[in-house]
Amino acid sequence: MTGSRDRDRRQHRVEELCAATVRALAGEPEFQLRAGRPYRADAPLQLHAPHLRPSQSEDDFGSFRGAADGTALRLLHSDTTLHRDHRPAEPVQRLVFDMLEQFRVESMVPAGLPGLLHNLRHRHERWSTTCVHSGLTETAHGLLLYSVAQICRSRVTGEPVPSVAEDVIEAPRFALAPLLGHELAGLRRHRLDQRAYAANALALARVIDGLLSGSESAGAEQEDSGADRRSRQWALFLDPADGDDQASAPAPRARGGAEQAEHGYRVFTKEYDTQRRISALVRRQQRGEFRERLDARIAARGVNVARLARQFGFLLADPARTGWEGDLEEGHLDGRNLTRLITSPAERRLFRAERVEPVAQSLVTLLLDCSGSMKAHAEQMALVVDVLARALELAGVSTEILGFTTGAWNGGRSMRAWRRAGRPPRPGRLNEVCHLVIKDADTTYRRARPDIAALLKPDLYREGADGEAVRWACHRMAGRPEQRRFLLVFSDGSPMDSATALVNDDDYLGNHLAEVVREQERAGSARIYGLGVGLDLGNYYSRSQVLDLSPETGNEPFRDILAMLAH
């Protein structure tokens, strides 16, 4: 488990570095990488090319950097509208057309950036090697596509074919030369003119599609249906999840879900939903015991809370005029000191100036996922939340701590009501949610200490509907006077409620969470951050950070949170 958390954290860090590279090179301030997918703000970017998706398990950092540089060049030099207007509808033609456009922009590396050229070359060589080792070139269709990729990139960029591919494509290259020669010359000649280049690329794509359609090879490929053959080509060469409108290519289930897109998010009944103070669910004596245990853990951790408070104050405070400072030697003349000027002509401290001090007019809400899988992290999460609440209060930042769970497992009374109603289809959320108020914004940290410790109670942790919890937390923030609002959501995975999942479309709650986050951020309710406990929440939150809450990490979670807020 620790190894998996470390891999997720490393991958998240790599994505942050690569996204920063793309933003700098392409001048795209809203570019993000979320779970390996490119986004501009909340809109996914369709950048199709086989080598732009390095593998976390198989590729090195240089491959990720090369893919980032390729993405930056695509954003910088490719007209998306023009490309879309010329893009063919047939899947194989579209595959080749997209790939050729990527090769065009990779031939346009700015002068004076040899490192970028090296990164692109490194990524292409790694991809070429992976294709050979994966068995792609052992099928006629795979070998043809691979050969076309190598020949076209070499011709467009002027770089030699990687050594690993030279022998592999020797025979196909000889056969393709008379068929592609004219279009290849056009690609090289028009690489600086996207419109003219697109005409040659489209013609070449049609030739390749004709070759694939007409090459009914011996063996297994002869027996495959056309649809199966298309699926194999896409599975070998392109990630199906990249397809935006690829009817013939295999594609993942839509993130929105057909049913959800048609009917929207629903709740079968809110009759059993509750909002409770956590103190009402945990006995006072037990809260005292939990508090002693948590204090011991915090003392052993050795967190410098005062230093953490200063860092939060620096991040979250804004300069504000807090009054006047008098008896100065320069500034605005202070009328109250005119008599001093008459009685003491040499006196110079006759002026005053406005006092400007950092004031944290901010509200930070910590929203805690209290689902069953978080039970294993309860003690460490309570420790981090406790320290954050104390440091934020010292920094003058208003803090609210909320949680969300369900009133029962497997639907509870809501599920029984649905059964009594005759099990109507598509009931929507089918459990009794329980929203927990652990510390409201007007309660001091000292008074809230026993309630924070109540997070150690194991039977609080059941299931959860994250999207409704995020909306509830934002609604509470909306009534506050603070000008800057931050919502930090602690969770260890996608939303899960077994009753809801059983009778609705796939990832019903996850789709709703992503929708709510986009909705609230567009409305300006708060800046929302997903803090993934051991994994990346980039599929749901545009701003996310992987946290390792294991005791061995020391103060690293706090540094990660500070770094996240600083972006």
Residues 88-98 have pLDDT tens digits of 988 888 889 99
Same domain? For 188 and 84 the reply is yes
In a domain, 5, yes or no: no
Mean pLDDT rounded to a whole number for the chain: 84
- On whether the CB atoms of residues 439 and 368 are closer than 8 A, the answer is no
Would you state the pLDDT for residue 219?
Answer: 42
- The count of other CB atoms within 10 Å of the CB of residue 567 is 10
Same domain? For 327 and 311 the reply is no
In a domain, 353, yes or no: yes
Same domain? For 339 and 445 the reply is no
Sign for the CA dihedral angle at 469, 471, 476, 481 comes to positive
Sign for the CA dihedral angle at 88, 92, 94, 96 comes to negative
Same domain? For 412 and 277 the reply is yes
For the ranges 33-47, 226-240, 254-268, 470-484, which has the lowest average pLDDT?
Answer: 226-240
What mean pLDDT is predicted for residues 212-219?
58
Same domain? For 438 and 350 the reply is no
Would you state the pLDDT for residue 314?
Answer: 85
Q: Structural domain of residue 325, as residue ranges?
A: 320-357
In a domain, 116, yes or no: yes
Same domain? For 266 and 415 the reply is yes
> Under 8 Å CB-to-CB from 95, ≥6 apart: which residues?
48, 145, 205, 233, 234, 237, 238
pTM value is: 0.69
pLDDT tens-digit series, residues 102-119: 999 999 998 888 999 999
Q: How confident is the model at residue 222 (pLDDT cuts 50, 70, 90)?
A: very low
Q: How confident is the model at residue 74 (pLDDT cuts 50, 70, 90)?
A: very high
Same domain? For 289 and 196 the reply is no
In a domain, 220, yes or no: yes
In a domain, 507, yes or no: no
The domain tally of the chain equals 3
Query: Can you tell me the distance from the alpha carbon of 565 to that of 404, in angstroms, rounded to the nearest whole number?
Result: 23
Would you state the pLDDT for residue 399?
Answer: 95
Query: Can you tell me the distance from the alpha carbon of 310 to that of 313, in angstroms, rounded to the nearest whole number?
Result: 5
In a domain, 472, yes or no: yes
Query: Can you tell me the distance from the alpha carbon of 355 to that of 351, in angstroms, rounded to the nearest whole number?
Result: 13
What mean pLDDT is predicted for residues 336-352?
76
Would you state the pLDDT for residue 50?
Answer: 82
Same domain? For 351 and 460 the reply is no
Same domain? For 347 and 397 the reply is no
Domain endpoint, select from 214, 240, 266: 240
Q: How far is CA 18 from CA 22, 60, 124, 241, 543, in A?
A: 6, 13, 17, 20, 15
In a domain, 300, yes or no: yes
Would you state the pLDDT for residue 305?
Answer: 92
Query: Can you tell me the distance from the alpha carbon of 564 to that of 553, in angstroms, rounded to the nearest whole number?
Result: 17
Same domain? For 153 and 224 the reply is yes
pLDDT tens-digit series, residues 122-171: 999 998 998 888 888 888 888 888 899 999 999 999 999 999 998 888 88
In a domain, 132, yes or no: yes
What mean pLDDT is predicted for residues 409-415?
91
Same domain? For 299 and 197 the reply is no
Whole-number percent of the chain with pLDDT over 70: 88
What mean pLDDT is predicted for residues 228-249?
44
Same domain? For 175 and 224 the reply is yes
